[in-house]
Structure 1
């Protein structure tokens, strides 16, 4: 593997850029606390490992080259993100009618791990990213399989570490912001962001 330190630096910069995972983790942390946020992160990490295995086995290249498969993953992923955004915005209405406590109890029964996992696995842009980003650091003349696997594991671990600190920060804000109106505004913003990510993914063209 070439320039491993550069790979780590570039990975960190890419991880901290806001995306669907960030919006979903923010929403679930605000709604269900650190536990909900960490379950979402672990789900996202599981999705990254699936993409890592797909790249190492050459399955991601099939997805990217097939317009049919790419479209299926793209639209299913987009619909799921839009669904999550709608659910987030709909929960605001429940808070207004049923009260914050009732809405929060409903959120606690949602599978945050499953949400994080599906958001990552159903996003073909992650597969495209792995196919274009990881090969730049593969050392020629050596086994690419283990290099791809090592880089995918590294990227996943860095993602978990970053969101671990991010979740604690968001949870601190959540504990500090006692006003329900402020929490509703932030949840509404994350819901709209998830809708936006879903629409953007639906309009994404095959590379």
Structure 2
């Protein structure tokens, strides 16, 4: 492996692993289920495949050259992230409300120790074997998670600009650009296809701790805040431009 390719691999690894909207969506879906998390991760990799293919084909240059097209993608991307963020924050708020409502109900049901007749015991509550999954009252379908991961990445307007400016820097002088950029694009997509499913599997592996109601509510609120901020920044840049 030549020096330029090693340098690009390190740069690409940092880009892929840097926490952002993709990371937040994969974590949120993985808290629902392993399958949902992996599906969202593969969707993110699919979005990166689109961006790198556009950069290789030179179509990303069209996106940069036509401001209206770029602004449209930015509007869609910012709006989608904002939508996901608000949904996560709403879910976290509902979970906090439900938790607060359950506490007095549980206290009233248990009652003072002396109120329980002798020989009677309170019925045990049903507890899921693997702990609750409060981040999703209804399991999301694999297709829904895959679509959410794909759209989160594909609607990022800065990705094609990044790849368009980055890939040519690692094409050696005098070498045909197409084969080299195809290799560079493949490195990025493969890294994403390994990293994001690994994140989903790790979150699922730690699910017993991460799905504890207080932790899950905090994670839901944190991912919602991150997505809302990222979406708001994209829309603010569009308005202030």
Q: Same fold (TM over 0.5)?
A: yes
Whose Rg is larger?
2
Alignment of 1:68-147 (within 5 A): 68-95=68-95, 96-97=97-98, 104-109=136-141, 111-147=144-180
Q: CA RMSD of the aligned region, Å?
A: 2.5
Which deviates more, 116-125 or 178-187?
178-187
CA-to-aligned-CA distance 1:54-76 (integer Å, 9 cap, x gap) = 11111101101211111000011
For residues 41 and 77 of structure 1, the distance between their equivalents in structure 2, rounded to whole angstroms, comes to: 18
Task: State the match for 1:183 in structure 2.
Answer: 216
Tell me, yes or no, if the aligned pair for 1:56 and 1:145 is still in contact at 8 Å: yes
Instruction: Specify whether residues 139 and 153 from structure 1 end up closer, same or farther in structure 2 by C-alpha distance, changes over 3 A only.
Output: same
Q: Is the 8 A contact 2:30 2:200 kept in 1?
A: yes
Is 1:202 the counterpart of 2:211? The answer is no
Match of 2:128 in 1: none
- Residue in structure 1 matching 2:226, options 185, 193, 197: 193
Contact 1:2/1:137, CA 8 A, preserved across alignment = no
SS in 1 for 2:136: helix
* Contact persistence 1:28–1:40 (CA under 8 A): yes
**TM-score, normalised on structure 1?**
0.89
Pair 1:103–1:187, CA change in 2 (3 A):
closer
What is the match of residue 200 of structure 2?
A: 167
Matches of 1:177 and 1:86, distance apart in 2: 21
TM-score, structure 2 length as denominator?
0.77
Aligned to 1:54: 54
Q: Structure 1: which 4+ aligned runs deviate by more than 6 Å?
A: 98-103
Q: Aligned partners of 2:174 and 2:135: how far apart in 1?
A: 56
